[in-house]
Each structure stands twice: as structure tokens, then as C-alpha cells.
Structure 1
């Protein structure tokens, strides 16, 4: 199901695509960016169906939902953006109340979504899932407690996804026998996902030598001071250049792509790597922290050059899964427990996908799609094809 909404005040458009329902409910974030299209949202919704299926564990309390996505064609920095967001949520209220659970995505923080949802008259942006909970009050308290946890100045909710991305990188390195210490990384985007990924990788001993935001690319050949950059960023992930060290350098915005690194982490916009600019990439791995950052034709060319793309449907799936593991009670509101569960789950998933790709002589993306193809009928037989 796909919907397009036009804001009566500004004329801006918003979209909702529900790709699949499981137990009558779907899951997927809401993004806001200038130029967001229905096709983009549809692709993201399909990706959410896959992310949910990839984390299906018949023994877990969390049973995956269907996939969906929302998108608003508006720059989140626009002075009218918040009003557009509130009106979009009001228009989509029947779907959010019954079929679609949503939260932060590109351009939006969870705090902003929560504030706008309350103004739009919603109980919560995830209220559609409440009827599936054994003890709604306890589950909501558990999630609220988890969102209140601060880990060295950053909320646990902002770190969960980056922990999963980092573990994906580390799993690939370990399988290839590449030492973590000294492995060089370039990160595009320093918001929730990019910033958290950089923190976890730096703490694992890797060197973050390039970080790109809307102002350009910050580089240092011996590694950037990730914690200082995190402390100096604004709500949109833009780093205050006054916090840079004297020997940190600034390069153009696209310099992150051709940096002399082992690992590229696109963690910002979709469609960042195309058939043209992929030629400048020398990294061994591209790890998709953002949704759909590598275009299909670029991925084919990269594979032909021996560069491995770890796909978004696997790599950034821990953000969504952490919400549900916490809400359904597989984990509590404790950062050590959360990070341990994310790491073990993501390592098992990435290992499975990479082993299947190696066995079948295909790409990790094709292997992930194969895992999903195996699991969706199992989920459908258990819960119904149209429920």
C-alpha cells in the first residue's frame, strides 16, 4: 500500500509505503529530506521487510513485524519543517494508530518525532504494536527507561544502530584475518548512525581518518579525535570546526569517498555511490550504515574490482531490532546487556550472510536476500500471509 500526501499549507509532499504486514503491524522509520520520493520510500519499505525477517528468531519474545517506511520531501532545517512534520503525522494518524510503527530516520531525531506525535494527538509513534504486548505497561516502562540511559554523553538509543554497524565491520575484518589495530576507516555522515559507528570502531582500535558532514570532510592520517568531534556536533551531525586540532585538515565534501582507507562507511544519504564516483574508491569494504547508499550498477562495478559491499538490510538493522528486543523483553534497559545482545546477534547474522555469499559465489546482498526468501514463508505460515 502506498500513499502520497500534500501539505495544504506549504504544498510539500509526504509518502507512506506499507510493504508487508505481520500480525497486522509493520515497522519502519520516518525520514525527512529535500527531494524524498515515493520510489525511495518504497525501496526503504522493502528493505524494512527484509530487516525484520533477518532477525526472526522463533525462540525470542520479539517476533518480527512487516516492513514500512515514511518520507517527507522537506529539508529538516527549513523553518517550516516542524509544522510539516506535525501535519504529516496528523494525516497519517489512522495508519500509525493501527498498522505502522515508526521512529527517527534521516533528518529526524526520536525526540522530535515524539514531540510532533504528541502534538498530532498520537499516544506514541509505535502505538500500533501495543496490542501485541503481553504487558503493555511494563514494556513501555522498559523502553522509556532504555531511552533515558546515557552512555558517555550519548543516549543508548542513539548508540544501538552504530554498535551493530561496527560489529558488522569487525566481523568482516575477523573473517578476513585483518588486524583491527591500524585498520583505516572513512565515515560519511556524523549524525546518529555515523557518529555512533565511529565511536565503537575507534574504541575497538581502528583509526577513523576521515569524517564527512555537510560542511566538508575532516581528515587526519593518524586518526581523528572521535570523542572531541562527537562533543562538537549539532543536532544534524555537523561538527563545529572550532573543535578541530591544529593538524586536522579540511577537504571537500566528497573526499571521504576516495580516502586511503580499508573501510568506507556511508552513513548519511541514499544514492551516495554511483557508477561514476565508485571509480575513485580504493577501500576493501563498503559497509552500508545508511539506507541504499550504493546504487546497483555501482555495486556491480565494485564487485568486479574485488570490493565487498556489506548491505544496509543487514548492517543497519540493529537500530530497529534494539527497539523491539527492548520492548518485547528480550533485553532490559541496560547498556552492557544491550550491546552484548546486539554484538552477538549481528555477528551471527553477518557470519551467516558472508558464509552464504562465499558458498554461492555471489554478493553479500544476494546472500541476504536469499536468507530473507527462506524466512518470509516461514513467518507467513506461522502468522498468516495477510495478517
Structure 2
């Protein structure tokens, strides 16, 4: 399924330029490419003038081409009242002052998650638009099964299982590292790690990682020697995943994979930044694009960091910002959120009551904390 997207979508861009012919050709191409019933024109109303022009054009295209139209709304923050905090984050992210008239900012305060009633009010009398939106949602199938699905490593048919292949590769690799026959400490450690890995069902994961690291090295892509808890694995060392000898440096395998507290092993790998895309492309080609995705990370701000960042975009003097931030307890033994600190730290509580600028600083900081 495909939607025509917001003001930056191809169809909308042509309509904004007044090029109806190009917009028509673009919409027809998308309709052909995704097939009957799988492409929707899209309208929005965040109070941006161009959206009215685009909506009128989309409706005309819908009539001319027989295409359905959906109404959508950008949701960059949860509630309308979060708009200011979102704007502060934009200023922080772009390194600009909050009151800089030239910095990037959103238009209005409409980019929040709207209710059904609010969405209906955007285009009065066009309940069909929301019905089409609901139709799209109903066709989206997703079942969050809350378990890991590891891709099958494409092993040669002579190996009956991932376990058998891993044991062979790890044994040969260990012999290259330590010599044959293996010294007793290496043999004992290798057997122990292999037993844990095979029992927990993660043999395939090791095979996959060693495969794309090998492919990277064959292509001359620099690979890091090892980072994080995976450096404590002799199997990883034997497979060439890491280049740090866990026996020499007395590293613990259990910090990586503990048989008493089984969790998904996480092997951190550093590739040359300029060529990491080649490694990702190799994995996509090997396992299929639908099976490969990059892990998302969510950045969060702790209390002191939030205060310092907000103070900077509000043009607080660095010394003042630091002094206010340090009033918030922050440490492994005793740490407070901004709301708690403003209540329990007398000096901070007094500053919040007596200084409107400090009150605003703390209000915005607690909203992005």
C-alpha cells in the first residue's frame, strides 16, 4: 500500500508548483506500480497555506483518475500542549537559540496525535476521507509476537544443523588462534561456550555475524577488534568476530551470555563509517531486504542535561545554567527528577517561585526530561 504523502510528497510538490500534468502523471505511475486499490491520494490540514492548494488539487486528481483520498495528520508530539517542548528540542538539535527567527521550526501547534472528532473537523462534510483512512488502517496487519525470529543461516547441506557448523568453524578457528591440539584452558573454555550457545539456540546468530564480518574483511572494509561484552567470548574470537584473546586478558564469557540468565546476545561491531553501508547491503542481499532492518535507539535526557540544554537555547548565562543544574541531585545513590527536585531542594524551589525565567526553564526542562 502507498499513500501520496505530505507536502513533500512527489504529487504534492508538483501541485504546489502548479504543474497539474506532472502531478497527474506521478499519481498514475504510483497507481500502476502499486496496483488497483493500493494507492491513496493524501490531504492534510495543519494550517499551512500550501496544504489548501494541495488538497484542492488532490480532490481534482481523485475525480479525474478515480483514486481514493485519505486524510492524515503529522504526529510529531502527543498533545497540543507539547508543541513548545517539541520546538525546544528542535532548537537544541539544531544548535540554535529558541528565539532565532532563521532557525528551522514547525508551523503552528497542530502536529500532534488528533482524536477522530478533531480529524473530522479538518475537512467538514468529507466523512469519506476518514472512512478511507480507517480502511487503510484495517488493511495493516501486524502481530507483535514478543519473541525473537532469527534468520536461517544458509549453511551447506552436509551440515545437519547450525550447531554442527558452528562447532566445526569454532574448533578450526580456535586451532588457528592457539595451535593444534588446543591447550587445555582453550579446549575447556571452547567446549563450555559451545555448550551454552547451542543449548540457548544462538548458534545461527554467531554464524550470521561471522559471515558478514568475513565478507567485510574480504572487501577490504576495516573492522574493529571487538567492543563490549562479546570480547569475552572465545567462540567469537575463534570465528574472527573479535580479535581480543579472552584467555589472555581474563575476560568473562558470562558477561556476554549467561546460562543462568539467558538473554539475546548482543555483538557490537565497528565498521568503517564510510563503508558500513556496503556491509548492510551485503546482509540485505544474503537474507532478503524484508528480513533486514536497523535497530532504533531512543535518546533521553536526564534532569541535569535537560536543564543545561534548555538553558542554552533560552540564552541563560553558562554559569547560571550550571548552578541551577547542579542543584538537582544526580548520582547512583540519590537522584531526583526535576519535579521532585523543585519540591525538595529549598534553593531550587525558591528560585522557581521568585524568578519567572527559572520557572519557565524548569517547566520546559521537565517536559523533555
Higher helix share: 2
Q: More relative contact order in 1 or in 2 (CA 8 Å, sep 6+)? A: 1
Normalised to the residue count of structure 2, the TM-score between the two structures is: 0.22
- Who wins on radius of gyration, i.e. which is larger? 2
